[in-house]
């Protein structure tokens, strides 16, 4: 691409800075103005305004380009997503959409839907409802309240549901931390060394 040097008066440079979009550099903005003007008509003179005697750009001899100095949206960054509008795609949904077997969630489920992160669709709605069906009413309430308070995009097993499913092992014990596992391992090794059965 050929390169040219453009020299402007300080007043005109200030005028360009005042009207250029923040996303464009001064050379890119000037290049864009020249390109737009060249596509309109090659015979028309290109002026942003000539400095007047007072030192500021005059508007009497300026072209219509001054009026076009509004920020130009970058078409590559503004891709409009076209989605089919469904009752589930809105943040605010009706409590009537809550299935009959989840009526105990009729207040919490729409509240969760309004604050959740991520996609809102009928498929996501059905998946969340499917998860809730696997829990008791108390566990549903606990899971929805935790998801609402944290702004999560999904509902997760409440601790009581994990404990009841045996995910933590026996009883209501929480999973052991890495530090606890290391300490237990050191104690076992020490006991094996004392018994003379240590394996290294």
Distance (Å, rounded) from C-alpha 12 to C-alpha 14? 5
Token look-up 């020299």 returns 7
**157 and 100 inside one domain:** yes
Q: Computed from CA positions of residues 166, 167, 171, 172, in that sequence, does the dihedral angle turn out positive or negative?
A: negative
Q: Is residue 52 part of a domain?
A: yes
Contact criterion met (CB below 8 Å) for 187 and 180 = no
In this prediction the pTM is 0.42
**99 and 158 inside one domain:** yes
Q: Is residue 24 part of a domain?
A: yes
Contact criterion met (CB below 8 Å) for 12 and 57 = yes
What are 114's two structure tokens?
A: 């309004």
**Domain final residue pick, 26, 51, 68:** 68
**153 and 189 inside one domain:** no
DSSP one-letter code for 91 = S
Which pLDDT score, from 0 to 100, does residue 67 have? 43
Tell me the pLDDT tens digit for each residue of 121-162.
Answer: 999 999 999 999 999 999 999 999 999 998 888 999 877 656
Q: Is residue 77 part of a domain?
A: no
Q: Is residue 90 part of a domain?
A: no
Q: Is residue 78 part of a domain?
A: no
DSSP one-letter code for 121 = -
143 Rama sector, left if φ>0, alpha if ψ -120 to 50, beta otherwise: alpha
Q: What is the mean pLDDT of residues 100-129?
A: 91
Enumerate residues 6+ apart whose C-beta is below 8 A from 124: 88, 118
Q: What is the mean pLDDT of residues 65-91?
A: 61
Distance (Å, rounded) from C-alpha 103 to C-alpha 155? 17
Residues 159, 165, 167, CA angle at the centre, nearest 5°? 70
């Amino acid at each position: 691409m050929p390169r040219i040097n453009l020299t402007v008066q300080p007043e005109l440079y200030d005028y360009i800075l005042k009207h250029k979009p923040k996303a464009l550099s001064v050379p890119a903005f000037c290049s864009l103005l020249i390109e737009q003007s060249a596509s309109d008509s090659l015979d028309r003179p290109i002026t942003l305004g000539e400095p007047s005697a007072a030192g500021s750009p005059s508007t009497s001899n300026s072209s219509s380009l001054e009026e076009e100095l509004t920020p130009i949206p970058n078409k590559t960054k503004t891709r409009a997503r076209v989605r089919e509008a469904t009752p589930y795609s809105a943040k605010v949904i009706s409590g009537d959409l809550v299935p009959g077997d989840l009526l105990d969630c009729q207040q919490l489920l729409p509240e969760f839907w309004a604050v959740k992160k991520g996609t809102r669709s009928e498929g996501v709605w059905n998946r969340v409802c499917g998860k809730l069906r696997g829990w008791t009413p108390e566990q549903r309430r606990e899971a929805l309240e935790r998801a609402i308070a944290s702004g999560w995009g999904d509902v997760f097993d409440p601790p009581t549901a994990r404990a009841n499913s045996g995910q933590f092992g026996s009883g209501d014990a929480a999973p052991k931390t890495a530090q606890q596992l290391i300490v237990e391992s050191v104690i076992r090794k020490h006991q094996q060394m004392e018994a003379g059965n240590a394996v290294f």
